[in-house]
Amino acid sequence: MNWRNVILIFQREVLDQLRDRRTLFMVAVLPILLYPLLGIGMVQMTVLFSEQPRSVVILGAADLPALPLVEGRRFASRWFHSSADADKLRVVTDLDDTATTLPPESKEQNAADEQMLANAKQICERIRERRKIETDLDAARAQRQPAETATLETALQNLNTRLTSLFDRSGIQVLIYIPADFARNLAQRQKELAERDVATTVQFDYARPVILQNSADEKSVIAHRRVHDVLQAWERSILKSQLHESQLPETLTEPVMPAEIDLAEQEQVSANVWSKMFPALLVIMALTGAFYPAVDLCAGEKERGTMETLLICPATRTEIVLGKFLTVFVFSASTALLNLLSVGMTGKYMASLAMGGVSSRLGDLALPPVSALIWVIVILLPLATLFSALCLAIATFAKSSKEGQYYLTPLLMVTLGLTMFCLSPATEMQPFYSVMPVIGPGLLLKGLLKANGPGTEMYLYAIPVLLTSIGYSLLALWWAIEQFGSEEVLFREAERFDLRLWIKHLLRDKEPVPTFSEAGFCFLLIMLLQFVSWKSFQTAIQNTAQEDQGLFQIRLLIIQQIALIATPALMMGVILTTSLRRTFSLRWPGFRRLLLAALLPFTLHPLTTELVVSLQWFFPPPPPGMAELMKHLKNANVLLVILAFAVTPAICEEIAFRGFLLAGFRRLGRVGVAVILSSCAFGIIHMIPHQVFNATLLGFVLGAMCVRNRSLFPGIVFHFGYNLLGILHDRFGKFVPTGSAWNFFFRWEDDALRYQPALLCLLSLLCIGLLNRLLQPASIPDLQDTNAPAVDESLPHSDRFQASALHG
């Protein structure tokens, strides 16, 4: 590695990018100008923004009690929190003297009001009709007259429909109907209350006002919320005066009325704002900042025809990628920082401007302390590294800038999803999240910027977050370098993609074992099938009777394994490969190896069980459905459970993951990477985090076993044994003696059989011994077998080609 070359390329690319108007715009101009402009825009909007007054019609206004609800054409301003709100509702009443007492308004307005009143009256007619039907309906129901009930129900429904359309067309947002004699009834009640004549039954049962609104209509909802508040204030006032006159304390109706104290200090309020905004902005801007330069540096370079110029210079591909990567990284990091800075400054300035407005409650949005800002930078570095490397790898694949942008959009979507997840107030840092890409850094930053200061545990979380982030970044960078080294990627022809031709090619140019992409596709297919079937399985489970659910779920599991895991892999194997024997490693490994594979679970199962238990703190709790299933497991027929949880998975999962997938992944040329990939795929399919972990671990063992024995069968035997032991452990663990001397090996804890350290040490030794035997490459006569396909793999192209050239 010649760092001088890396630096030379880096310098050139930075200069190149700085001369590119598009990149400069995205990276520097946009953040510096966008947020202040948005700020100005917001100020402008608040100045210019005026809410259209909404129309409220009151029918029967003459019957309103003396306490004035309405003043002229609006509600009395004393019923509003902020008196300015009174202008936002325009009240039209059916009082005769409206015209005389109110300031004259335009003729059209009056005409419109007249129209509205007419509409309101019509609506009220319908309401009365509706009430009558409702009474009849109740009566019919009470007398159990089904025919009558049905007719009335239809009539009611029709009426409702008509009422809705009538209301929608009326131009009224809220309609208040005051029943006749309402004021008189109210006064009567007050009088009776004041006299406190308990003997006379107080007539509380008078007709109440009716309020009509349409909650599907935004305007109506807003108006209704205001009207509701007004009427509540008004009602409270009426109540108070009633209490007063009855010589009761005015606070009678508020026996609790707690005093509320908000302890949030101003810095904390602002810290809260920043702790939400900064992580999201950091993640998204680090990605955006990497996105455009990466496309320009790779796809753009191909497009402009300078890629080959670069490739023929003495720098190695790794040096070129590193130079480009550093460039993308610098732009990603500076975009993110510039954006944060600009947002911070604008936010602070805006908040100080808007004193007295709503945002004054946010206080002066003081920027977070310097220590927090340093954390921002510390976290930004691995994030920018990850995104830069990912964008670079993807952009290398694209042939043109436009294509690059298409490929990068999914990355943006996924990142946005993860960011949204981090932003949710319910999501807090926990061990499992700390090792997830993007989520870890996002949550860490959120925790560090939090109002009440970061807890010590946050600083501890920084270690796994940073370590894993660096790990992911290095992986992504490695991928980018691999991509850049691949001829197919660099010199991809912009050939027209023809599905028919492609399928023909797949079927015609079959190879003995699947290709890497076929294996990858198989995995995606399995995932997709699981996802699609999930819903229908859930519905099916819910549709079965409660007591049968357990059994049903177990059966479903068998079907799922066969139909959704084994079948896709087998089908793809049959259709796309020429040698099922090699694809699925169908080779007799000999009894000795099968026996070793059968013994291995006895040593490995206790070890992994203890490992997972000891790591329980790390994983988020399993979903509730899981516990349910476990309960069923303990009660179901043991043979059925073994069939569902040991036999079927051992066969189906091995066929898919150690068969088709591993064979395809091995085409990468690196057996280790292939085993890791297939284990990760095997883990991911298990969904529940601690099972994912366990399955991935086992995947390593299973993958290595398959590769070394060149046979699927030891894996199947081991897989069966391992799962069987799991079932036996859950079910019959309680029969294992834990008393006296046995206590040296076993103990009973938390309703489960646990293994003592002494036993575990012994088992580890045995396990290493067994693995050592099992993972020895298969013996000499088979060795020729391995060599043969290796030679064959380099040859088939030429042979086939020559054959086809000769025969036509």
Partner 1 sequence: MAYWDVGRFDSSLPLMKSSMITVHRLTKRFADLRTGAFTALDRVSFEVQPGEILGLLGPNGAGKTTCLRILSTVLKPTSGSAIVAGYDVATHPEEVRARIGFLSNNTGIYDRMTAGEMVEHFGRLYGIPEAALQERISLLFERLQITKFRDVLGSKMSTGMRQKVSIARTIIHDPPVLIFDEPTSGLDVLVARKVIDEVKTLQDQGKCIIYSTHIMREVEKLCHRIAIIYRGQILAIGSVQELADQYSEPDMEELFFKLIDRHEEGLAANLVS
Residues that bind partner 1 (CB under 8 A): 4-5, 8-9, 12, 15-16, 19-20, 304-309, 311-316, 487-488, 491, 495, 498, 501-502, 505, 508-509, 797-798, 800-801, 804-806, 808
d(CA 478, CA 80): 64
Distance CA 571, CA 561 (A): 14
Closest CA to 278 of 394, 412, 168, 377: 377
Question: By the 8 A CB rule, do 159 and 126 touch?
Answer: yes
Name the maximum alpha-carbon separation found in the chain: 117
Joined together, the tokens standing for residue 747 give 């103990």
Residue among 497 and 735 whose Cβ is closer to partner 1 = 497
Q: Tokens 């070890």 sit at which residue?
A: 607
CB of 726 to partner 1, least distance (A): 45
Judged by CB, which is closer to partner 1: 69, or 490?
490
Cα–Cα distance, 584 to 570 (Å, whole number): 9
Nearer to partner 1, 284 or 307 (CB): 307
Q: What is the DSSP letter of 620?
A: P
Min separation Cβ 497 and partner 1, Å = 8
User: What token pair was written down for 231?
Assistant: 């009427």
302 vs 605, which CB is nearer to partner 1? 302
Phi, psi of 275 (to 5 degrees): -65, -20
Handedness of CA 92, 96, 102, 108 (dihedral sign): positive
Which CB, 105 or 509, lies closer to partner 1?
509
Angle at 635 between CA 554 and CA 567, to 5 degrees: 15
The dihedral of CA 315, 317, 319, 322: what is its sign? positive
Nearer to partner 1, 313 or 571 (CB): 313
283, 292, 293, 284: which is closest to 10 by C-alpha? 293
**How far apart are CB 313 and partner 1 at their closest, in Å?**
5
Characterise 247 by phi-psi region: left (phi > 0), alpha (psi -120 to 50), beta (else): left
What contacts 73, CB < 8 A, 6 or more positions away? 90, 91, 92, 102, 105
Q: Residue 501 Cβ, how far from partner 1 at the closest point, in Å? A: 5
Residue 333 to residue 327: CA distance in whole angstroms: 10
CB of 305 to partner 1, least distance (A): 4
User: Is residue 55 classed as helix, strand or coil in its secondary structure?
Assistant: strand
For the chain, what is the radius of gyration of the CA atoms?
A: 37
Length of the chain: 808
Least distance (Å) from partner 1 to the CB of residue 706? 28
Q: How many Å separate Cα 17 from the centre of its chain? A: 35
The nearer residue to partner 1, 18 or 40, going by C-beta atoms, is 18
Residue 293 or 437: the one with the smaller Cβ distance to partner 1 is 293
Cα–Cα distances (Å) from 341 to 28, 251, 438, 521, 522, in that order, read 12, 51, 21, 43, 46
The structure tokens 């009777």 sit at: 545
- Rounded least distance, CB 502 to partner 1, Å: 6
Cα 401 vs. chain centroid, distance in angstroms? 29
Residue 500: CB minimum distance to partner 1, A: 10
Residue labelled with tokens 């194997």: 573
CB of 309 to partner 1, least distance (A): 4
Structure tokens at 759: 């036993």
Nearest approach, Cβ of 492 to partner 1 (angstroms)? 11
Least separation in angstroms between residue 504's CB and partner 1 is: 8
Q: Which is nearer to partner 1, 499 or 741 (CB)?
A: 499
Minimum CB distance to partner 1 smaller for 495 or for 547:
495
Residue type, 476: A
The beta-strand segments (E) located in 288-440 are: none
Q: Which is nearer to partner 1, 497 or 591 (CB)?
A: 497
Query: In terms of CB distance, is 112 or 310 closer to partner 1?
Result: 310
Regarding beta strands 54-59 and 174-177, do their DSSP bridges make them parallel or antiparallel, or are they unpaired?
parallel
Give the tokens for residue 608: 């992994």
CA distance 142 to 367: 67
Q: Which is nearer to partner 1, 306 or 772 (CB)?
A: 306
Is residue 486 within 8 Å of residue 630, measured between CB atoms?
no
Q: If we measure between CA atoms, which residue out of 713, 530, 723, 551 comes closest to residue 645?
A: 723
- CB of residue 308 vs partner 1: minimum separation in angstroms? 4
Closer of 25 and 801 to partner 1 (Cβ): 801
- Residue 144: left (phi > 0), alpha (psi -120 to 50), or beta? left
**Residue placing its CB nearer to partner 1 in the complex, 8 or 562:** 8
Rounded Cα distance, 37 and 40, in Å:
5
Distance of closest approach, residue 12 Cβ to partner 1, in angstroms: 5
